Structure 1
Amino acid sequence: MFIKITQSGGRRYAQLVESFRNDAGQPRQRTVCTLGRLDVGGDVDKLIAGLQRAQGRAPAASSLQGLRFLASRQAGDVWALAQLWKQLELDELAGAWRRSKTEVDVLGCLRAMVWNRLSDAQSKLGVLRWLDTVALPVEFAFSQAPQHQHLLRAMDVIDEHADALGERLSMLLRPLVDQDLSVVFYDLTTVSVAGESELPGDVRVHGMGKSGKVERQFMLSLVQTADGLPIAHEVHPGNTAEARTLLPMIRALLARYPLKRVVLIADRGLLSLDNLKELGALQDALRTEGRDVEVQYILAVPAARYGEFADDLRTLAATQDSTKPWAAQLPWKQQRLVVAHDPEGAARRRQQREEQLAELIALGQQWSGTLDAQDAGERRRGRPLSDSGATARFYHAVKEANMAHVVKVDLQGKLFSFQIDEARKQYLQLLDGKLLLVTNTDAPADEVVQRYKSLADIERGFRVLKSDIAIGPVYHRLPRRIRAHALICFIALILHRVMRMRLRAAGREGSPTRWLEQLRAIHQQTVQSADGETATGLTEITPAQKALFADLSLPTPIPADLPAPVL
């Protein structure tokens, strides 16, 4: 007898075959039985193990038997962030505090805190836990694991040398900024904080947050290029008037970047007559200093000021087709006032207002009917409705709907009554879909509008800061730590935006956060065999992950790039 190997459907089988001679004396073969599949751990292996046990012998050990997995650490996303950090030469930031006498590895702590914001944003204590789960590249590994006080001390050093650090950061970003014509976007957001203690110079102040509620917060201003690259930021107390932050930021920007022309684009909160005068004065001062810099701006007009343009808007709108988008201009205080009309936005706002008015009118008529019925002696279930009560409740409903400027409730009369201000309603319909922009540029009106609409990109930058990078809520109480935390998040946003720029250039859509999650699946694994031998390597890098590294213009890691864990 002998073993014969056959194949069927891509699988290999073992058969027990017997040789014999037939009645004519001719040699023949016949299959006695099929032993089963030859896969590792399949039927044949089980049969062999059973026969060995029948002989009283231990089955032969598998090469994988007794293999232990000792450690697994995330590697792919941290590797990508480290290589991007290296390409941007951000280690040069250490020159800002080179004369500091601290013994803390400030640069290593800064790198860890920035990368953690993008990989798995946590508190400073959480950074230490995160470091235990990731494999830092050999050239960026800590010689000694940091502790919580090291991270805090590094933040103190960062704030102590914030000006020098900002100068170095601007030098590193200059190659990415268009020096000849720089369109920059400026906006502010609020960041919530925790704690009730009050300290000298505290930036945690109660103010009106973006949520519409008064809360303890600080304000963060951000300057971003037309390509979406953040180039400057500043921390302000939580009750700072937005308009007051504009000029200092522009002066600081022109001091750090050798721009030849800057077109500032900002939202409604930044427009004030004082700012316009100071921007003009800044332009004159720059010329006096011999700097050939042209300062231009496109600022949105607050809706509360639309009333002073009512007559001009009526005249202008009468010359335009309200069913199509249009952009035109008017003179205003020696400036250009650009007016844009969006018919779809106007239709949506008008429909929303009509629905709100219909609901309020129906409610008012219902209560009027109830009061009239009571006066006629009709009795209904529940407590009677009084005129004063109906007036108070209806006025509250009107205020909740933000319609008090259209629905006029008679608060002084003895009887419940209200009326619709038709003139005001028609005026609001005139403003529906309108955008007003003040500019000193000579660009066509359509181009001015398109540039302003690009401001939405900086708002996405704030969303990244608040969601992916998790800048708040902030639990630090010392002003210097809050400023350092904001700087760490700002540098993280730079890395995020550079990744986005590279991915978009490669034709990839989606947030860098999503693509970092794909790279996070690359792990450094450490295993130990039955005889005690250990080996460390990387999980197989898939073609999709290799393509992602290529689109980011980053090298792919190899096992030698990552230090073996200390077990």
Structure 2
Amino acid sequence: MKTTKRENKSGTVRYLHLAHNEWDPAKGRAVPKVLFTFGREDQLDRDAVKRLVASLSKLLEPGDALVATAASDLEFVSSVPIGGTHVLDHLWRRLKIDQIVARVGQPKRGRPRDMTTTERVLFALVANRALAPSSKLAAADWITNDVHIDGLPEIGEQPCYRAMDWLHEVTDDLEKQVFDSVATLLNLEVDLLFFDTTSTYFELAEPDDPVARDDAGRPLHHSEAGGDTNHSGFRAYGKSKDSRDDLPQIVIGMAVTRDGIPVRCWCWPGNASDSTVIRQVKDEMRDWTLAKIVWVTDRGFSCAANRRYLRQGDHAYIIGEKLRSGSSEVTAALSRQGRYTEIAENMRVKEVRISDTDRFVICHNPEAAQRDKHMREQLVAHLQELIADTDTLSEFKRGEVRGKIAGKPGLNRYLRATPAGKLRLDQARIKTEENLDGKYLLRCSDPHLSAEDIALGYKQLLEVERGWRDMKQIIDLRPVYHRLEERIRAHVVLCWLALLLIRIIETRTDTTWPRTRRELQRLHVGTFTGPTGTFQQVTSLTKPQRDLLAKLGIPHPKQVLDLQPTPR
């Protein structure tokens, strides 16, 4: 840029030019050649200059364009995502979890705690599970270097562990108060509560040493343990739902509403059975003074003792029944004649009465029936191929074939052996299975629910399964980088809180969390420094980001977050 001056009646006037220096051989020096004149300096069209600079910047790489357009005395320091934590933090405060943490108070033992810092650390750990799941050591580094969290510029590993230890002490009170806050904010319907369990395994050579435990699976003090007290390690061998019976595990339970909002979670030793944990769950939810609840569970909780327990008080249940259990009630329900009623495009229901206390509803899905038929035909054809020439084999060889088939339950179901030891298709069993195609049986103790409500209510049990899927695939419940039982339990609570925030976001935006997370994490805050100090500025919002914030009712982040003038 070249500036020239000219005197007129009003004084000195400055003119701006775009010039290029060219070598003049005659003069022996560089001479500026004017390429374009911008006019008087006091009448400069600055908007036009900005458009020109922006147009020229498109010819450069983004980093080079930033350096070229930034002031020579302003330095770009760093940039980290802010969109995800901005949204999660506002929901965290809207649910008043920050106030709940402060109300729950100081730990029962140990030195007093700074509850403001504890609350910020807990939020940061929950945000880490939702945005970038990692170990607590990696989470501390992520909080310090890779994300912007309001009120927590940096943190070490030990404060994270101390916050988790405090969380374990106050879990019961915190869960109750968080539920009350969520129920008020979202106007939750808790007439139906869906409950299910899962397991998560640990890469250990040996399970934990057995310790005395109460009926809820919590460790007992030596003075509380009696002679008939149950002894078990927390990470213990059990029936794995991840097909890893060879590794120690823990059992985790979760209750969700019909909208998929998780209201509470539990942890038990790895050898706990589904048929016993449901009683503890009902007792602890009763302490929350809820109105009438209809418990919806799958087939693992259908024993008579559990049904009696769930029916106590003003509660009821909807439980799936095992079609192949062989019980007299199931056989009688399936043998009753009657017409199905269409309740949805792919759902028909038929209610049968065979008990004074329970109602049975048979549900039939025509599409699922076609899939079951196709799978059975494939299995039968494969089995027919395996036994086709076995009549010519010796008894020993036929025994080998039968042993091989016995290890495949899907095939062994349709196999029978004649008195002479010949292998044949079990046509009676095939006919029985045809009658079960696309069907499932429900048992309900509520006399007022319609058959349609019972069927649709049980279908919503998929919300719990979706919760477990997100826990393991999005929040990364496993691997668990902890050895102490208290911290393993606290880790599960952190995952539950993260899932709670995610479900609220999905409910309000009608968008999956992975898609929302990708869009929000594109919103960054950049740090700049110069002679006068340091400041942080947020990038401009895109239309998808503005739409997400509008649906959630969350204000836009401030454009300038922090100003730190250089000390004089």
Please give the range of the TM-score, normalised by the shorter of the 2 chains: 0.7 to 0.9
Q: CA deviation at 1:333?
A: 4.0
Q: Residues 96 and 164 of structure 1 are in contact (CA less than 8 Å); yes or no, is this contact kept in structure 2?
A: yes
Change (3 A) 1:63 1:448: closer
Amino acid at match of 1:443: L
Amino acid at match of 1:248: Q
The question of 1:397 aligning with 2:372 is answered no
Amino acid at match of 1:463: R
Q: Residues 73 and 523 of structure 1 are in contact (CA less than 8 Å); yes or no, is this contact kept in structure 2?
A: yes
Q: Residue 260 of structure 1: which of 291, 296, 312 is its match?
A: 291
Which residue pairs with 1:230 in the alignment? 262
The 5-angstrom pairing of residues 95-494 of structure 1 reads 95-98=103-106, 100=108, 101-103=111-113, 105-138=117-150, 140-141=151-152, 145-176=154-185, 182-195=191-204, 196=206, 198-199=208-209, 200=211, 201=219, 202-214=233-245, 215-256=247-288, 258-280=289-311, 282-283=312-313, 294-309=314-329, 311-313=331-333, 315-317=335-337, 325-334=347-356, 335-368=358-391, 371=393, 387-409=395-417, 417-441=422-446, 442-494=448-500
Distance 2:547 2:203 in 1: 43
Q: Residue 89 of structure 1: which of 85, 96, 112 is its match?
A: 96
Distance 2:454 2:341 in 1: 20
Amino acid at match of 1:190: S
Change (3 A) 1:252 1:324: closer
Q: Residues 148 and 525 of structure 2 are in contact (CA less than 8 Å); yes or no, is this contact kept in structure 1?
A: no
Q: Residues 141 and 156 of structure 2 are in contact (CA less than 8 Å); yes or no, is this contact kept in structure 1?
A: no
Distance 1:42 1:187 in 2: 58
Q: CA deviation at 1:161?
A: 2.2
- After superposition, what is the alpha-carbon deviation per residue over 1:363-402, rounded to whole angstroms, capped at 9, x for unaligned? 2214556x4xxxxxxxxxxxxxx54234313431353252
Change (3 A) 1:333 1:71: same
Distance 2:400 2:556 in 1: 68
Q: CA deviation at 1:490?
A: 1.0
Q: CA deviation at 1:470?
A: 0.9
Q: CA deviation at 1:156?
A: 1.3
Q: Residue 85 of structure 2: which of 69, 78, 83 is its match?
A: 78
Change (3 A) 1:169 1:224: same
Change (3 A) 1:544 1:310: closer
Change (3 A) 1:562 1:182: farther
- After superposition, what is the alpha-carbon deviation per residue over 1:333-352, rounded to whole angstroms, capped at 9, x for unaligned? 42111111222212211221
* Identical amino acids, percent of aligned pairs: 25
Q: Residues 364 and 438 of structure 2 are in contact (CA less than 8 Å); yes or no, is this contact kept in structure 1?
A: yes
Distance 2:565 2:401 in 1: 68
Change (3 A) 1:73 1:320: closer
Aligned pairs, how many?
483
Which residue pairs with 1:374 in the alignment? none
Distance 1:524 1:159 in 2: 34
Q: CA deviation at 1:66?
A: 7.4
Amino acid at match of 1:123: S
Distance 1:218 1:311 in 2: 35
**TM-score normalised per structure 2:** 0.77
Q: CA deviation at 1:102?
A: 3.8
Distance 2:341 2:167 in 1: 57
- After superposition, what is the alpha-carbon deviation per residue over 1:521-545, rounded to whole angstroms, capped at 9, x for unaligned? 111112346x686543111211221
Q: Bigger CA drift: 398-407 or 212-221?
A: 398-407
**TM-score normalised per structure 1:** 0.77
Distance 2:565 2:514 in 1: 26
Distance 1:63 1:178 in 2: 50
Q: Residues 185 and 223 of structure 1 are in contact (CA less than 8 Å); yes or no, is this contact kept in structure 2?
A: yes
Change (3 A) 1:210 1:562: farther
Q: Residues 81 and 147 of structure 2 are in contact (CA less than 8 Å); yes or no, is this contact kept in structure 1?
A: yes
Change (3 A) 1:15 1:107: closer
The DSSP-based 3-state class of the residue aligned with 1:98 is: coil
Change (3 A) 1:179 1:400: closer
Change (3 A) 1:482 1:564: farther
The DSSP-based 3-state class of the residue aligned with 1:73 is: strand
Change (3 A) 1:311 1:439: closer
The DSSP-based 3-state class of the residue aligned with 1:221 is: strand
Distance 1:561 1:527 in 2: 12
Q: Bigger CA drift: 481-490 or 206-215?
A: 206-215
- After superposition, what is the alpha-carbon deviation per residue over 1:281-324, rounded to whole angstroms, capped at 9, x for unaligned? x21xxxxxxxxxx3121111123425534653454357569998
Q: Residues 74 and 133 of structure 1 are in contact (CA less than 8 Å); yes or no, is this contact kept in structure 2?
A: no
Q: Residues 360 and 398 of structure 1 are in contact (CA less than 8 Å); yes or no, is this contact kept in structure 2?
A: no
**Larger radius of gyration between Structure 1 and Structure 2:** 1
Q: Residues 180 and 260 of structure 1 are in contact (CA less than 8 Å); yes or no, is this contact kept in structure 2?
A: no
Distance 2:565 2:159 in 1: 22
Change (3 A) 1:159 1:431: same
Distance 1:177 1:554 in 2: 15
Change (3 A) 1:188 1:341: same
Q: Bigger CA drift: 294-303 or 79-88?
A: 294-303
Change (3 A) 1:102 1:197: farther
Q: Bigger CA drift: 452-461 or 335-344?
A: 335-344
Change (3 A) 1:161 1:439: same
The DSSP-based 3-state class of the residue aligned with 1:77 is: helix
Amino acid at match of 1:73: V
Amino acid at match of 1:125: L
Distance 1:93 1:41 in 2: 48
Q: Residues 194 and 474 of structure 1 are in contact (CA less than 8 Å); yes or no, is this contact kept in structure 2?
A: no
Change (3 A) 1:62 1:331: closer
Amino acid at match of 2:152: A
Q: CA deviation at 1:87?
A: 0.9
Distance 2:341 2:184 in 1: 45
Q: CA deviation at 1:452?
A: 0.4
Unmatched tracts of structure 1, length 5 or more: 1-13, 17-32, 44-60, 284-293, 372-385, 505-509
Which residue pairs with 2:23 in the alignment? none
Distance 2:54 2:515 in 1: 39
Unmatched tracts of structure 2, length 5 or more: 1-17, 21-33, 37-48, 57-67, 212-218, 220-232
The DSSP-based 3-state class of the residue aligned with 2:496 is: helix
The DSSP-based 3-state class of the residue aligned with 1:206 is: coil
Distance 1:486 1:68 in 2: 43
Q: CA RMSD in A?
A: 3.4
Distance 2:375 2:367 in 1: 12
Larger relative contact order (C-alpha < 8 A, sep ≥ 6)? 1
Q: Residues 159 and 481 of structure 1 are in contact (CA less than 8 Å); yes or no, is this contact kept in structure 2?
A: yes
Q: Residues 177 and 225 of structure 1 are in contact (CA less than 8 Å); yes or no, is this contact kept in structure 2?
A: no
